[in-house]
Amino acid sequence: MGARSRLATRRHTTLAFVLRRTPYRDADLVVGLFSEQLGQISALARAARKSQRRFGGSLEPFHTIELDVEEAPGSELMQLREARIVTPRAGLLTQLDSMEAAGTFLGWVRHSAPAHTPEPALWLLLESCLDALEQRALAGARGAGPSARCTLAAHGLWLLGACGWRLELEYCVESGERCPEGKAALIDPARGGLVSRARGGAGLLLGGATRRRLIATQSQRVLLLDESDVDVTLQLIEGSLRAHAGLPA
């Protein structure tokens, strides 16, 4: 039986990001990972808390790591054998707003990505978001361009699109009637987007200029948001993720 079990065990090598770490027993960690080849997985890292040399500091958030895991038949929990940092992003740890934005995006991915299902578009978005935040952190006070929260907001809109939850901001989701360009509109993220007053409206009001920039950012996949758009955009993203992915309030 032991020989057959060993033969059935599969070993995988893939790039990944650490999404969360949970202490287990005296010295182990259960590590939640979003991997390029396997999607979202969990793996047991034995003695990871006892010895820093065990995984060489690779089980920290924000870095792209390459890992070797073993998958046993019938077990949801894989065994983490090795992990190495491929792309370090230590700059994120030096700037609080970039670090917080990166942590928020990792949390969104954790709630959005299905288990054991590769999501190439989501993987590229996570790399893009963390790279942009790392570059901003390294630039420090000299850096120009969008804030960390603005970068997060744009990538959050693209995450919704990658997951099939893209917000409809031009047409009423109930009637199909088009809202005139540049006009303010009521948006309900739980219902998928714009809701006309004739169909009951919604709680979040988007000004005409803000709505135009959100539509352009979604469709052109370029960050065209203004800093004044960030708060309402984040409300829309998190409202949508609460409705579709169980994001806590």
Between the CA atoms of 36, 86, 241 and 20, what dihedral angle is there, to the nearest 10 degrees? Answer: 110
Among 126, 136, 158, 160, CA closest to 225: 158
Close Cβ partners of 216 (under 8 Å, ≥ 6 residues apart)? 222, 224
Going along the chain from its start, the domains and CATH numbers come out as 2-87 (2.40.50.140), 90-245 (1.20.1440.120)
Dist CA 167 CA 164 (whole Å): 9
How many angstroms separate the CA atoms of 183 and 163, rounded?
Answer: 28
Q: Is the pTM of this model over 0.75?
A: yes
Residue 56 tokens read as 């060489």
- pLDDT digit of tens for each residue in the chain (249 aa)? 444 445 578 999 999 999 999 999 888 999 999 999 999 999 999 888 876 667 878 999 999 999 999 998 878 899 999 999 999 999 999 999 999 999 999 999 999 999 999 999 999 999 999 999 999 999 875 666 899 999 999 999 999 999 999 999 999 999 999 999 999 999 999 999 999 999 998 889 999 999 999 999 999 999 999 999 999 999 999 999 999 999 998
As given in the structure block, the two tokens for residue 240 are: 């949508």
Indicate the average pLDDT of the chain. 92
